Structure 1
């Protein structure tokens, strides 16, 4: 995993710089910089709107007593989209815009949800909840009681 991330952080900046230089040569430096600023501003607004609707859906599910696992995963995808859109570059802007598309976001969130383990805590203390299996969302109940330790 570390090797893949290292390659990603090594290759992406080189590709971005190459694309920006080529675009700057085609349309000019000032329009290229303006394009980067415009995509960052518009992207931030779109992420904010999508994040707000995802937050409201998560609130609705929690009010109904359901675990908002899909919405949590969509929130993580939206966070990634926001980071990509405010990062200068064409490749990251395209990837960020793709993550904002509802169909792409939902599919990616579903894949992420299959790999996540959601742990809910019912009661107080470190042993209050139980850990679920990847992709499994469960709720737990609490049984009140007292105990006395005798050694």
Structure 2
């Protein structure tokens, strides 16, 4: 886990800065800044469109009595894509745009949903309020009976 965080917060910004300096040297500082602003604006619009479509599908599934687990995970992937697109840099923009591709987004969302445990308000997926704990668990506490 520490290695991933190290990569995320230290190595990638150094690579991003290096690429931005090189691009600025090739096309100039103002075009480089304009490119980053344009990708952020276009990316925000694309994230918004995909997010609204995902939200509508989640609403449709909930109205049908289904748990919209896939749509929740797709929404999380879209959130990550949005953050990447508004973060200055070429690598983060490319990764954010890649996450907007429906096929990749659905595949990542499917992998996320396999790792998630969904629990409804009624606790029908296990472990909800008022249900007996699974296994041999002891819950300690005090109680007082009032008639």
Scaled by the length of structure 1, the TM-score of the pair is 0.82
Instruction: State yes or no: 1:19 paired with 2:23.
Output: no
Deviates further, 81-90 or 6-15: 6-15
Q: CA deviation at 1:2?
A: 3.0
CA distance in 1, matches of 2:34, 2:45: 17
Structure 2 spans left out of the alignment, 5+ residues:
134-144
| Alignment partners' CA distance in 2, 1:122 and 1:112 | 23
Q: Closer, same or farther in 2 for the Cα pair 1:130/1:52, shift >3 Å?
A: farther
SS of 1:120's partner is coil
SS at match of 1:122: coil
Structure 1 residue runs of 4 or more that deviate by more than 3 Å after TM superposition: 128-131
Partner of 1:82: 82
2: CA distance between counterparts of 1:105 and 1:130?
37
Cα deviations by residue, 1:45-95 (Å, 9 ceiling, x for unpaired): 000000000000000000000000000000000000000000000000000
User: What residue number does 1:138 align with?
Assistant: none
Q: Over aligned residues, Cα RMSD in angstroms?
A: 2.1
Matching residue of 1:30: 30
**Contact conserved, 1:121 with 1:129, CA < 8 A, in 2?**
no
The equivalences for 1:1-151 within 5 A come to 1-122=1-122, 127-128=129-130
CA distance in 2, matches of 1:20, 1:44: 21
CA contact (8 A) 1:98 1:104 kept: yes
Unpaired segments ≥5 residues, structure 1:
132-148
1:137 corresponds to which residue?
A: none
> What is the number of equivalent residue pairs in this alignment?
132
